[in-house]
Structure 1
Amino acid sequence: MMSIGSRIKQRRTELNMSQEVLAEKIGVSRSAISNWEIERNYPDLQVIVSLSDILEIPLDTLLKGDAAVVEKISTDTVQRKSLSKKLKFAYIFIAILIVLMGFALHKTKWMDISSANQIKTFQYDGKNFIIATDLPFYRSMGGCAIDYSNNGEIINLNFMSYRDLSMANEEVFITNAYLYPNTTKVAVVYNNEPLVMYNIEDIDLSSK
């Protein structure tokens, strides 16, 4: 009983088709055709379907009696299904990971200064508060909210940093501020709780 390699060679010869021409039609190398015909290895299922069309030979005739090829096709099919499932799980995992990363990046775009360790120096030059911070390399200072409480006696400052993709790492921030005559203290706060409390006489450079 003829093998698939013998059938390929026989039908190719009947059609007066060289190995080079058949290889070009299928999209493989000439050596691949040669290897199939001498049964060094076998074509996969997709190529077998193409061979059936190009050589004008029914698929069942091409495979008839060649148990080795049928077994290979069966094994390949199982492996393809297994690989397909793994790829689907991988795609789902990657999609979930991208969503979570996007959420995390969005949530951390703006962050309040939340630790006293992030504050290096704090000064007042008569018009502006000047804060020097210690931030990660990917963040820069970006804003400040000012709250005058107790009729201006205490000024609460809430400083914010943002995720800076340019990696400029701007750690000094200057914000305009007005001191009331009765202002005695300035606090850098986080969640309405003071991180650091300064006496005006300790930070007011204009009076020194």
Structure 2
Amino acid sequence: MELAKERSSCTNDSELAKRLGVTRASVSNWKCGRNYPDTVACAKIAEITEIPLARVLGTVGEARAISREEKAVWRRLASAAALVLMLIPLASRVQASTDLNGRAGYALCEIR
């Protein structure tokens, strides 16, 4: 939740709670691990922090999971979301081209 506060420019739990439409006690409980945000709250967290929803859901799912196997599945989901984020800037630098025979190809270049 500290990352959520930081990424949303909230200075305290009350401000974050207000932006999420929940009580300050809910945010406190999430921070302490007494309970976890539901999927709607996860979507709001993703929206205000600009963290991919899959990563938020994966992180919360891992924290909520009981077995090692279940935690591993949620961790993979969160990791996959992080990988996609790393690939997006790469995709913006790939430009389609064709060779002399008209075959499609791709060249790595920076698009600004």
The TM-score, its normalising length taken from structure 1, stands at 0.27
Instruction: Tell me which protein shows more strand as a share of its residues.
Output: 1
CA radius of gyration, larger in: 1
TM-score under structure 2 length normalisation: 0.47
